[in-house]
Amino acid sequence: MNGMGGKKPKRKGTTTKLGYNERHAKSGISTVLPDIETFPNQYKGYEITIVIPEYTAICPKTNLPDFGTITLHYKPDKACLELKALKMYIHAYRNIGIFYENAVNRILRDVVASCRPVWAKVTGEFAARGGLRSVIEARYPE
């Protein structure tokens, strides 16, 4: 039993009771951000973990700031991420409205496009808000 007398809840379009819509859902996905530069990798068979404890962005619905830690773990192939360029890329999120899930997946997409790693994982651990804390993880390849 689902607690609703056996009836399934009805879904009405893409807008929720809270007023979230497709515009909110897509916010920040295609915003132009600084390039993540790379440098040629000189070694094989090792992994890199980068922890970014000062991630900030804006909630696309409420315009309130979001805070979190982004952890990037990857195995480089022919190129490594240049850290200053990565820092400038991450700091650019401060001014865009984007949901946690979209930010983590966008960061993964942009890292993969930049350095073409053997594999990569991006984890976003976001500060509690309203009594809830979120951890989002995205991997390449899936």
Query: Which member of 66, 77, 80, 110 is catalytic?
Result: 66
86 is in an annotated binding site: no
Sign of CA dihedral 101, 106, 107, 108: positive
The reply to whether 66 belongs to the active site is yes
82 is in an annotated binding site: yes
Give the C-alpha separation, 93 to 21, whole Å.
21
Query: Which member of 35, 59, 77, 80 is catalytic?
Result: 59
Tell me which H or E stretch contains 90: helix 83-91
Q: What are the residues facing 65 on neighbouring strands? A: 58
Give the C-alpha separation, 112 to 90, whole Å.
15
108 is in an annotated binding site: no
The reply to whether 80 belongs to the active site is no
Other C-beta atoms closer than 10 Å to the C-beta of 70 total 22
47 is in an annotated binding site: no
89 is in an annotated binding site: no
> What residues form the annotated binding site?
81-83, 100-101
> What residues form the annotated binding site for substrate?
81-83, 100-101
**Residues labelled catalytic:** 59, 66
